[in-house]
Structure 1
């Protein structure tokens, strides 16, 4: 499964001067699980991701792009274009509860399939699996090859916490067939097979949601060897090898598209679902996965395509974008109607990506979880009488301003540039403070809280949060688990 950097260069030289495509483009969408800001080569020269770097540097890098702090909200917003406060997934994990993307919601695959796309999902779903109706191949995808839960062993495809097999081909449990195959390579081979068998005259939507670089931290030894002289911590070296393996998978899929004559008519997107976790690195951003600091919610993302004007290829775009925006952007690009019955949170950003217009949004609601509140005794200070309860765990970005409310104690540090040297602790952090405001233009690392100096901005943003809270639907119930792990051998539906 190897493709050399030289071959990548040859492929790019072949299609970089191709004429723009006027039909429905093929869409290849990569999601890398838990990829940190500093875990790609174009942000960190220690990380060897030559294909990702070349695609990013030949396309448009999205530098003001926001995701959720963890997997469930990000993936459900991506797949539906709806904010989690509108679908009841703003609190907690799906776990073994009858929760997930509501069955009356459209998915991006539904909308693309309506307009003639072949639709395929490989890898991670995590949008609900309690009912057969909630499985991906019944939610707009022609085929599904992957897993339903949050994380599996990359070789055995078994959920570490309960021993259930978690690998499916549509309705069939197939983990035993692939036992011992490394997930990234396995998924890339499936993508290559789909491309090889595809009728290139029909538009393709292929979403590959890698299980890497999420824990468990595992990779074939050959990829760790890339770092034997530069990274001495074994876990971090393995993690970096996982990123390099993902890069090689993308190289091979890119080569498959070129061999099929499809690459010149494709839009390639890469995104993380959230910031890097305990082994990832988000320097110079503050915090990590599961926090609302920038390191948890500002995501690595780019778009590569010959549909992009030549003058924006190889540029960085600092316009505001949110993970929900992919739904309307790509559906409209394919010629479909993304809205129809539902009011989306996402907005069409294609002209912004092309450099023709500013962002279609002025704000991003990063998170709002009214079930998670700090003690009422901390509702003090100049904002205690605002309509919005400042003890609520929430975050919002408006223009250059970012406001965080509630308990922000989780991940109060900055990763060191070299993660082997640990983190920089915020020794002066006051965990009783419920309101924090940052100017992300002057202070992208969130080091200086200016809420006292700019109380006018804080009041304005709290009013926005109050409006969002009033419009939010209640969180889906997370009471008794409906799944008895002992009655299943393979992760999947347990309710008729």
Structure 2
């Protein structure tokens, strides 16, 4: 959304939780703001999760003309309620949580108005967001300018919920978590397919660039699977960070190929601006313009990136050429190679067994990630000169470090939905 690494915006330690009053720094421009200034009609459907406690953090104040979805990271797919832990007193130790609170988190916003949606209780979230995305496509006036639709579907994400019709597609899957997870993915696939059809029926598809991408690896304890890669979501192992994506559009000069060049999530920001005809000139961003590389299957302009730098957790991970360096922590609790579990009763025990066996590995680690993408051969002791090179580059990255906002903002009782009509709402920070 910003073209910046999380550690340079204070968002590196933890995501925005409903009881802590912070969000993405408003001095940081978003891709929506940039495209809006280029004349694009900008719409966000689905998940925001970059702050909501003050109206200045809302998507319609960050470049989006309209927003329909949830402010937080996850919630019930049918009741559209999210969980938080607001404390009862303002003077509370850092990190202390209050009693569990479940409140509505479904909103329809424009730059001039904001409202909570109560009429869609009982409707599966993927269906809601499909309906809204199609409505936007149908109503778009192409003669007034181009369209930017950011469809951030809630699925697949905990809690594991899916319509029965999709679950029946996977009756042969013994592991209940895997069965529901698979059903959620199929419901998501159908949603994307129907939105694409809406673009085609509206006559917009031939001039549309579609990017489909993920933000992290799957959670192995909740039905996801990253085999044969190591680790999972919330770790800096490849299983937690190596994502897949595809790009589609007739403006691509070369099509039908697999691109294996190095690319990072922050690259989407300058890449999309370049595709829109306005290459980014801001030296402050970390993203690299990959438009011509993707368009023509050229070599990547990127040679390195940061997985994460988090002083609070003490985890540091960077990539430099073919080398990956991890220092501090254990790289995450789930640091093993997990096969998909079929036996629902034994699988959680298997996860705990292999995780407890390996979580005490403290590193540091050095991997030749091109030759060893499964991260099985730690070269830290064998290549001290390469370690020195990685440490020196890490020190350079650290010069731009911003303290994490999560730790700077203790849980706040003013966030309690009881003060805001039973809804997670802005206006308290």
TM-score tier (shorter): 0.7 to 0.9
Q: Is 2:339 the counterpart of 1:437? A: no
Describe how 1:332-371 pairs up with structure 2 within 5 A: 332-340=274-282, 343-371=284-312
Contact 1:365–1:396 under 8 Å retained in 2: yes
Shift of 1:429: 4.3
Q: Compute the displacement of 1:93 (Å).
A: 2.7
- Give the Cα–Cα distance (whole angstroms) in 2 for the partners of residues 463 and 428 of structure 1: 32
Q: CA deviation at 1:427?
A: 8.9
Contact 2:333–2:359, Cα closer than 8 Å, also in 1: no
User: Secondary structure in 2 aligned to 1:213?
Assistant: coil
What are the residue-to-residue correspondences of 1:133-148 with 2, within 5 Å? 133-148=56-71
TM-score under structure 1 length normalisation = 0.76
Label 1:426 to 1:91 Cα distance change in 2 as closer, same or farther (>3 A): closer
Q: Using a 3 Å threshold, how does the CA distance of structure 1 residues 194 and 319 change in structure 2: closer, same or farther?
A: same
Mapped partners of 1:186, 1:345: distance in 2 = 34
Aligned partner of 1:412 among 317, 320, 335: 335
Task: State the aligned residue count.
Answer: 395
In structure 1, distance between residues paired with 2:231 and 2:158: 18
Unaligned runs of 5+ in 2: 85-100
Alignment RMSD (CA, Å): 1.9
RCO comparison, higher one (Cα < 8 Å, 6+)? 1
| 1:223 Cα offset (Å) | 0.7
Question: What per-residue deviation string (whole Å, max 9, x for no partner) do you get for residues 225-271 of structure 1?
Answer: 11113x12222111100000000001100100000111111111111
TM-score, structure 2 length as denominator?
A: 0.88
Q: Where in structure 2 are the equivalents of 1:96-495 lying within 5 Å?
A: 96-161=19-84, 162-170=101-109, 171-201=113-143, 202-229=145-172, 231-277=173-219, 278=221, 279-309=223-253, 312-340=254-282, 343-373=284-314, 393-408=315-330, 410-417=333-340, 420=343, 422=347, 425=354, 429=358, 431-476=360-405, 477-482=407-412, 483-485=414-416, 486-488=418-420, 489-495=422-428
Three-state SS of the structure 2 residue aligned to 1:321 is coil
Give the gaps of 5 or more residues in structure 1. 1-78, 374-392
CA contact (8 A) 1:82 1:344 kept: yes
Q: 1:363-405, CA deviations, whole angstroms, 9 ceiling, x for partnerless residues? A: 01010011223xxxxxxxxxxxxxxxxxxx1111112211111
Q: Does the Cα contact within 8 Å between 2:174 and 2:342 map onto a contact in 1?
A: no
What SS does structure 2 have at the residue aligned with 1:257? Answer: helix
Whole-Å separation in 2 of the counterparts to 1:443 and 1:355: 28
Contact 1:111 1:338 in 2 (8 A): no
Aligned to 1:85: 7
